[in-house]
């Protein structure tokens, strides 16, 4: 089964209302006077990082990618739970974990360790509290909204390819936590860009039954000559969001397109319709 097939099977199981139909990256749970935001991400050797990768960087990135999902919900992190496979450079992993938790101001809540004879796998569950209700979702974008993006795309790709200037963009990204909290009261829909702008835009368009028209010449990328690669590569952890065009944004962001009534493709890049998600970005399976 590929990822989409497996998710379809999961949706046939009993789901808590807070799971949001597994259409989003986080669960949203009302708990007393608080609304909790919970997500879980994993990284596997050979798939998400090379066998010779510095495990301090792996630990940092694992924290960052989980916090990026909280950022897209406008959440304030409470803490994280760790799942760790022993046997590699455990001291290096601890070093990177300590640095990331200190920089992002997030404490460790607990977790589990295992030993394995196979490839190392690490996971983190991040828990946050909502700072604005309703909690932003991938849903909510409607025709007439403008489409925006924080930051610039393509840095992680260049860092992966060996660019020293962009190495931190790949190894030690910074989730847009402050931006997410500031944007939460203003957006119609919001998600982080982790699997490539085109694929993540396709996901937002599909769940809202709209078309996202992207203006390729306005999308900020680090290397315009490789625009297509920058739009598909992913791991930039920027925020993609929709908002009414008259909204006065509280953060710096670039308007990259519009939300339109559903047409013959979920995403239109310039004049090119993008109908299938299979080649738009990274997916498992």
Cβ pair 189, 138 in contact under 8 A = yes
The Cα 114–Cα 139 span in angstroms is: 37
264: Cβ contacts below 8 Å, ≥ 6 apart: 273, 275
* Residue ranges covered by each domain of the chain: 3-130, 146-274
Going from the first residue of the chain to its last (285 residues), give the mean pLDDT of each consecutive group of 10, the final group possibly shorter.
83 87 89 95 89 95 97 98 94 98 98 88 97 96 98 97 96 98 98 95 96 97 96 96 98 98 95 87 57
Q: Cβ(271)–Cβ(261) under 8 Å?
A: no
φ and ψ at residue 249, rounded to 5 degrees: -75, 140
- Are 281 and 232 in contact, with CB atoms under 8 Å apart? yes
- Yes or no: say if 71 and 180 are a contact pair by the CB < 8 Å rule: yes
User: What pLDDT does 284 receive?
Assistant: 45
pLDDT for 282: 61
Q: Which CATH architecture has domain 146-274?
A: Alpha-Beta Complex (3.90)
- Report yes or no: 213 and 268 within 8 Å, Cβ to Cβ: yes
Angle formed at CA 202 by CA 194 and CA 25, multiple of 5 degrees:
45
The CATH class of the 3-130 domain is: alpha beta
For residue 1, the model assigns a pLDDT of 79
Residues 6 or more apart whose Cβ sits within 8 Å of residue 55: 88, 89, 90, 92, 93, 96
**This model's pTM is above 0.85:** yes
The pLDDT score that the predictor gives to residue 218 is: 97
């Amino acid at each position: 089964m590929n990822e989409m097939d497996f998710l379809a099977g999961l949706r046939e199981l009993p789901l808590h209302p807070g799971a949001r139909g597994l259409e989003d990256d986080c669960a949203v749970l009302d708990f007393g006077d608080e609304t909790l935001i919970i997500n879980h991400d994993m990284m596997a050797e050979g798939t998400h990082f090379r066998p010779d990768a510095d495990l301090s960087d792996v630990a940092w990135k694992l924290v960052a990618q989980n916090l990026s999902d909280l950022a897209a919900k406008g959440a304030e992190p409470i803490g994280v739970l760790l799942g760790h496979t022993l046997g590699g450079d455990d001291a290096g992993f601890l070093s990177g974990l300590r640095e990331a938790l200190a920089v992002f101001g997030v404490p460790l809540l607990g977790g589990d360790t295992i030993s394995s004879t196979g490839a190392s796998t690490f996971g983190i569950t991040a828990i946050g509290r909502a700072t604005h209700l309703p909690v932003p979702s991938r849903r909510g974008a409607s025709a007439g909204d403008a489409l925006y993006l924080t930051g610039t795309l393509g840095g992680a790709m260049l860092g992966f390819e060996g660019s020293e200037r962009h190495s931190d963009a790949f190894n030690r990204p910074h989730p847009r936590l402050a931006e997410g909290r500031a944007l939460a009261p203003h957006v119609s829909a919001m998600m982080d860009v982790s699997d490539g702008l085109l694929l993540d835009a396709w996901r937002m368009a599909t769940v809202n039954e709209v078309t996202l028209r992207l203006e390729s010449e306005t999308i900020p990328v680090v290397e315009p000559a490789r625009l297509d690669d920058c739009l598909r590569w992913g791991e930039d952890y920027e925020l993609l969001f929709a908002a009414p065009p008259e909204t006065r944004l509280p953060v710096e962001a670039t308007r990259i397109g519009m939300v339109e009534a559903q047409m013959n493709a979920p995403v239109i890049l310039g004049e090119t319709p993008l109908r299938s998600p299979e080649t738009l970005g990274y997916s498992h399976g």
